[in-house]
Structure 1
Amino acid sequence: MKKFKVGYTTGVYDMFHIGHLNILRRAKEQCETLIVGVTTDELCFKRKHKYPIINERDRKAIVEAIRYVDRAIFQTDMDKIRTVKELGADVVFVGSDWKGTDAWKQYEKEFATAGCNVIYLDHTDGISSTILREKISK
């Protein structure tokens, strides 16, 4: 299988769990360099109307320590095409739950004009930060 040069993926990575690790491992298997955007606390609040349990600095430090990650950066906005161009990414990895959505159909078109592919990675069933939040609050 041909490896991509620079891969990019983003996430909040709150309460880091096996689903996060699986995504990062699968992404790294397909590219030489994996850059991970860690969503800032403010952007998370703006999009999800809640702050992460773990602050952005600590979440970034955790992601940086994962052996599959070559570099972690903060994701401060949703301008994915600008970030892809700035990083020189030739592939973006995203969860398969986004496949076929209007937003990602549009992203696919925009990325294609920048020579960037989109690969959808399977979600790990039965685990998410939301599920962990619910377990903690019981």
Structure 2
Amino acid sequence: MSYKRKVITFGTFDVFHIGHINILERAKAEGDYLIVGVSSDALNFNKKQRYPIYPQDQRLKIVKSLKFVDYVFIEESLELKVEYIRQFSADILVMGDDWKGRFDDMEKYCEVIYLPRTPSISTTEIIEVVKNN
């Protein structure tokens, strides 16, 4: 089967919540085939100085189980975004608008779309609430 427009997006997808569902559904709506890079445990530690609550194999399985996600892989490095875009022949890079402007240089390789985050939900906030209760 050939796909008209491939969309790629990335995230940690830890403590999976409705905001993750919303952004992935909206990402899929931008094209015909959705590819999701799930941050490796090591990458997450490098970004946030903490490991995810759920290990990468579990986060991968959660994202893979969604009916609107077509392909999932482990993202090993933030610096490899261009390689991932090329490897999967992505036409569109979708990121949350909290990253607005940070991926504009990817316009050389594909269209870049920043989607609004779901208001009042954040994995970091959920983790803090759980830790403090």
Scaled to the shorter chain, the TM-score interval is over 0.9
Which amino acid in 2 is paired with 1:121?
L
In structure 1, what is the Cα distance between the partners aligned to 2:92 and 2:107? Answer: 10
In structure 1, what is the Cα distance between the partners aligned to 2:107 and 2:120? Answer: 33
Query: What is the aligned residue count?
Result: 129
SS in 2 for 1:23: helix
Shift of 1:4: 6.0
In structure 1, what is the Cα distance between the partners aligned to 2:29 and 2:100? Answer: 20
Normalising by structure 2, what TM-score? Answer: 0.92
Instruction: After TM superposition, list the pairs within 5 Å mapping 1:1-138 onto structure 2.
Output: 5-78=5-78, 79-100=80-101, 104=102, 107-109=103-105, 111-114=106-109, 116-138=110-132
In structure 1, what is the Cα distance between the partners aligned to 2:14 and 2:108? Answer: 32
In structure 2, what is the Cα distance between the partners aligned to 1:28 and 1:52? Answer: 25
SS in 2 for 1:112: helix
Which amino acid in 2 is paired with 1:131?
E
What is the aligned-residue RMSD (CA, Å)?
1.3
In structure 1, what is the Cα distance between the partners aligned to 2:128 and 2:108? Answer: 41
Shift of 1:39: 0.2
SS in 2 for 1:94: strand
SS in 2 for 1:89: coil
Which amino acid in 1 is paired with 2:66?
I
Q: Give CA-to-partner distance per residue, 1:8-42, whole Å, 9 cap, x none.
A: 00000001000000000000111100000000000
Which amino acid in 1 is paired with 2:47?
R
In structure 2, what is the Cα distance between the partners aligned to 1:132 and 1:85? Answer: 34
Q: Give CA-to-partner distance per residue, 1:71-96, whole Å, 9 cap, x none.
A: 11000011101110111001000011
* Structure 2 segments unaligned to the other structure (5+ residues): none
Shift of 1:112: 2.7
Query: Runs ≥4 in structure 1, deviation > 2 angstroms?
Result: 111-114
